[in-house]
Every structure is written in structure tokens, then in C-alpha cells.
Structure 1
Amino acid sequence: MTSGVTDMPLEELWRHRAPRTCPADFEDFWNQTIESARQAAQPADLRREASPVSTVLIENLTFSGYAGDPIQAQIVRPTTSAPAPAVLQFLDYGEGAGLPGERLHWASCGYVSVIMDSRGQGTRLTAGHTADPHGTGPSVPGFMTRGILDPETFYYRRLYTDALRLVDAVAELPFVDASRIAVTGRGQGGSLALAAAALHRRVAAAMPCAPLLCDAGRSIVITPQPPITEITRFLSVHHGREPEVLRTLAYTDGAELAYRVTIPTYMSTSLMDGVAMPSTAFAAFHNLASQDKSLEVYEHNAHEGGGYRHWLRQVEWLRERFGSD
């Protein structure tokens, strides 16, 4: 192992466990949140996107997320009409779904590729198209601390609910094989993939990469790079509010959600990642209830992880579970 920002030697990471922080009302909180969103939902809208790309179909899906809010997702799929397995992609912090045809790799392998916009984001690298209409109290610029003093108002309650509602919407599409829905994402997207795998019964496989918001109490103390440092900055000003912050984070902590993940799961982490510290990813991995689980470790990489090489491994892993149409 090379030196870098890793917080533990690799042999210790394989033994690391996070303390339990699960609130007593965790199940009720999420059941009520998703049921409320479903009751507020409007019919989904699917429209063809103009694009010079002719080998796949590109469409825009508008579906109802948290509180019935309209959320955008881009669908890229094979031109055949037979139902195909779907891969739902959740984006890293600040990214948006981008322009039509910007992400073609999963569709090129025969999957229905669905890329969800993250509400209010989409100003880093790729453009976003979905607003977040809900205001919050004091927060550090960014999204990590919006509404963080109460789990009811926390930004990530809304974003996780959007991810769960996307699974609902995709499972109803006639060109999707609803028995073969996978979720994936890196960083923030890895957290959303863990949440969907933990809280939605229609998800059949998960591939979270370097997830944020895992082992939150440890993460906010040791992580040197944004966006987790937004929480550290918040606490440096709002002295004495740590108990409220940690209580809120317990509802979205990937290490807690992992206990509820029973489906095949292929995770990854990088030992030089200063955005999503490797010990926090290991904490989530160890808590997975899946019988079929594995963790890819990239010793010399940072938050970019294994890049295209890791995607090739994901394709191979998913084909072993979903088959090849």
C-alpha cells in the first residue's frame, strides 16, 4: 500500500467496524417518508430527446420525487422493444444528468440506462435540470448541511426519496424487466445506491462506489476534502449542535443502511480517497447483510476510483447476476 490520505492500513480496514447509531424510529421514518411521496405522486412523463445519436433511444423521464416534486432523469436504451434489465445511475456531488447522449456506456451493453438528476445540483462537470423547492435553515454553501438540524428537513432525506421513487417509476416502464433493476453511483451516488438497495424491494443488485455519508460520526472528523467538510465547517460555527447533526445523519448513514441490504452487492473504495474515506466504505461493506458481496480496493487511486477499468469489472459482475440478453 502506498502512502496517501488513507486513515488506516489495509489490514486494519478489513477489521474495522462502525458503532451502531440506528434511531429507534428509523423504519417508521423511511416508511412514512416514501409512502407520503407516493401519495403525492403525479403520473410520470416520458418524452423523446433530440440527439444525433442513432444507435440508442434517448428519452427524458419526469417523475414525482419527494413531496411529489418533479424530478428529471435521462433514459438511454437499446432500440429493441423487448424488456431489458435496467441500471439506475446516481450522480456524485454537484453533478447533473448532463446533455442527451452524454452517458452511453450502459446502454451500449444492452441495459436500459437511467441517470437521475440530483435536485438543486448540476453545476459541476455536467449540467442539471431539476430544482429543489424546499427551503432550510442556516447552512454552509453546498448541500451537505441544508436542514441538517432535523431529519425531517435534511436535504438528503429529499434526495434519497427521489432515488426510491425513481425505482418505482422505472419498474413501471414497459421496456424494463422489473425483476432486473440494478443501482450504481460514485460518492454521493454511491450513497444513493446503498439507500435504494436497503429501502426498495424492487432493486435486485447494487454497485456503490466510494459512498459518502457512511460511518458519519467518524467521517466528519477525519475527512480532509469536500463535501463532508461542509458539515465540519457548520459545526465549527454552530457550537453544541453536534448531537442534533449526528442524530440527523443517522437516518442517511450508509453504514446503518447496509444492515438492510440483502441483495448481491459489489462495492469499491480507493485507499488515497480524501473525499470518501476508505474506512467509512469498509464500515458499510462489513455491515452488508448480503450473502453475495465483494469489495474492490484500489490502492493507488483517489476518489476517481478504478475509472473505466472498474466499470468493465462492474459489467462482468452484473452479467453474472442478470445474464446476457
Structure 2
Amino acid sequence: MNAIEKRIAELERYMPDLTGGDDLEPFWHRTLQAAERKALRAERKREETPFPYADAYRVTYEGYDDTPIHGWYLVPKFVRSESLPCVVSFHGYSGGKGYPEEYAAWLLLGMAVFAVDIRGQGGETGNRLDQGYGMEKGWITQGILDHETCYYKAIAIDAVKAVDWVWEQPEVDRNNIVVHGASQGGGLALIVSALSSKPGLAVANIPNMCHMDFGMLNSTGSLTEAAAFAERFPEHLDRVLKTLSYFDMMNLAHRIRIPVMVSVGLKDTVCLPETVYAAYNRIASPKSIHVYPFTGHTVVRYHNRKMYEFVKRFITGNEERG
């Protein structure tokens, strides 16, 4: 066994202790019930683009609170179907939904696309979440002392409600909804898969929001904000860790019932391989993981091709479903 094989074998056995408390499931039961009762208050408006073969719509909807969440809804015009598969795409930390042309590959698969902003970050979406305590630079420490009102809860419900919006669109085949993202977006794809029964497939590339206590200690990414907060307020470390535990995919992976495709880079210092495997190893549904031994925090073009092949098998009915 060479060094690469040994490293992968160690990760495949990696099963750290869960950090969720006895109230994890009741918390999500209450939270999802409240989210289901909340109206989307959505608007969909046609947008002119330079591209003649896809219809583009600007969408706003309400997720966790009354913040208008912005998104692009794209429908290919060259596919003769009244019932299209649809991918719901979440961007990485500090990013935004970008421009419609960035989703051309999904359209070429014959899929509709709903690409949404994550509140307060680099898109058009603001953030009306209340803040009752100081925070570190960035976003994730907003409300981090209380899992009932924190930023992670807001973005998780925003993401669940994005799939709820897609579910209501007349062009969409409800049996063929895919959730997708990388880094933060990969974490959100996983958490939506754990919390919503509406997606049929998840693609989580180099996902964040996994084994978050380990990430606080070791990651060079967004969880450095949580570490900096705990460094500034060491008396609140236990509260920070408790809050993160409710949104840690390591603790929620058992809820996933659909096929999942994951990628991981063994040189990734943002979403470390230990964090990815800590969640992946606890997923019981059909799953696959693509390991890139020499890759850091990026998704290589080769993997993108593998991802599109995986999704194509699903939407054509040739992929095992949960």
C-alpha cells in the first residue's frame, strides 16, 4: 500500500464522535415546521440577456425571514419538454449567483437552473437577520451564541426554501430536482438533502459545514471566523461549539436518503479531508466520493465532467435512487 492509498484508507475509517445533543432532532422538527408555514412571497420577472436559447428570470423569494433572496431561474429553449429536470445551485463563501451564462453546462444537459444568492455575501441579497452581539469579520459569527437565531440557521432555511420555490414552477419535473454546490455551496447541498424530501440527488463538491469543531481548530477558511470569535470571547467557546453542532453535516448525515456525489482534495486546507469524510462516512444512502490527492480547495475540470455524467444518469433514470 503506497502513501496515497494509506491516507485514503485512514480517511475511510475516520469516524469522530458526534457532537449533536439530544435536542438536535426536536430542534429541526420545530424549525422545519415553522419554515413550511412561512409563505415564499416570491416574484419571477423575465430578464433580457444576449443569449437566445435560454429564458432567464430574476427571482426573489423569502426564506428564513423577510429578507428578499435573489436568484436566477434559467430555462433552456431548445429542449422540447414541459417537465424539465432542475438543478438548484448554491455558491461558495463570499460569492454570489453571478450571471446566467455561468450555468451554461447545466442548460446543455437540458436542465432548468435555479442559482441563488446566500444572504449578505457577494451577490444582490442583503441580510435582515437580527444581531444581538458582536461578531468577527465575515458572516458566520452573526448570532453564533444561539442556534435559534444564528446565521447558519438562516442560510439553511433559505436553501430549503429555494427548493420549495423550484417545486412550484410549472416547467419543473419534481422527480428530477438536483441540489448542487461547492465549498459552502456543497455544505448547503448536503444540509438541504438532510432536511428536505424534495431533492432527488445531491452533488456536494469539497463541502463545508462538516466536522466543524475540527474545522475551527485547523481550517484556513470561513471557520477561522468562529475561531477568532472564540479567541476574542473565550468564555463563549462552549456556546459557539453547541451552536455549530446543529448545522454540522457530521451530525445530520444520517438523515440523507438520496444518492450523493462528493469530491474531496487531500491537500485542501479549507475543507479538510477529515471534515469531508466525517460527514460522508455517516451517509447511509447510495453515495460516491471522488478523491483528488494533489488538489487543494478547488474543483478540477475532470471532476466537473464526472459530475455532469453522474447527473445525466440520474435524470435519464439510469442512476440508483434512494
Q: Same fold (TM over 0.5)?
A: yes
Name the structure 1 match of 2:166: 170
Root-mean-square deviation over aligned CA pairs:
1.8
SS of residue matched to 1:101: helix
Contact 1:298–1:305 under 8 Å retained in 2 = no
Q: Is the 8 A contact 1:22 1:251 kept in 2?
A: yes
For residue 215 of structure 2, what is the aligned residue in structure 1?
219
Query: Does 2:296 match 1:298?
Result: no
Give 1:102's aligned amino acid.
E
Contact kept, 8 Å, 1:61 with 1:73, in 2: the verdict is yes
The structure 1 residue matched to 2:303, chosen from 310, 313, 316, is 310
Q: Are the equivalent residues in 2 in contact too, given 1:50–1:100 (CA < 8 A)?
A: no
User: 1:107 is matched with which residue?
Assistant: 107
Measured in 2, the distance between the counterparts of 1:203 and 1:228 equals 27
Contact 1:38–1:68 (Cα < 8 Å) also in 2: no
* Equivalent AA in structure 2 for residue 142 of structure 1: G
What SS does the aligned partner of 2:234 have? Answer: coil
Aligned-partner Cα distance in 2 for 1:164–1:132: 17
Once the two structures are superposed, what CA deviation does each residue of 1:251-292 show, in whole Å capped at 9, x if it has no partner?
Answer: 1001112111111011111011111001100111100021x1
Alignment deviations for residues 235-257 of structure 1 (CA, whole Å, 9 cap, x no partner): 11111212111110011001112
1:208 and 2:201 correspond:
no
Distance, in Å, in 2 between the alignment partners of 1:141 and 1:263 is: 36
Q: Which segment is superposed worse, 196-205 or 95-104? A: 95-104
Residues 99-127 of structure 1: CA deviation (Å, up to 9, x unaligned): 343332211211111111110011xxxxx
Q: Which runs of 5+ in 2 are unaligned?
A: none
Tell me, in whole angstroms, the C-alpha distance in 1 between the residues paired with 2:191 and 2:271.
16
Whole-Å separation in 2 of the counterparts to 1:132 and 1:248 = 20
Instruction: Name the counterpart of 2:10.
Output: 12
Letter in 1 for 2:189: A
Residues 1:259 and 2:257 are matched in the alignment: no
Letter in 2 for 1:165: K
In 2, Cα distance between equivalents of 1:282 and 1:46 = 38
TM-score (norm 1): 0.92
SS of 2:65's partner is helix
Given that 1:58 and 1:101 are in contact with CA atoms closer than 8 Å, whether structure 2 keeps it comes out as no
Deviation beyond 6 Å, 4+ runs, structure 1: none
Instruction: Give the CA deviation at 1:324.
Output: 7.4
Q: Which residue of 2 aligns with 1:24?
A: 22
- Pairwise mapping of residues 43-192 of structure 1 onto structure 2 (< 5 A)? 43-79=41-77, 80-122=80-122, 128-136=123-131, 137-192=133-188
Stretch of structure 1 that moved more, 187-196 or 81-90: 81-90
The alignment of Structure 1 onto Structure 2 pairs a total of residues equal to: 313
- How far, CA to CA, are the matches of 2:68 and 2:263 in structure 1? 31
Question: Given residue 250 of structure 1, which amino acid in structure 2 is its aligned partner?
Answer: S
Q: Secondary structure at the match of 2:235?
A: coil
1:31 & 1:205 partners in 2: Cα distance? Answer: 22
Partner of 1:197: 193
In the superposition, the TM-score normalised over structure 2's length comes to 0.92
Distance 1:317 1:113 in 2: 17
SS at match of 2:268: coil
The one-letter code of the counterpart of 2:280 is F
Q: Distance in 2 between matches of 1:305 and 1:109?
A: 19
CA contact (8 A) 1:91 1:118 kept: yes
Q: Percent identity?
A: 33
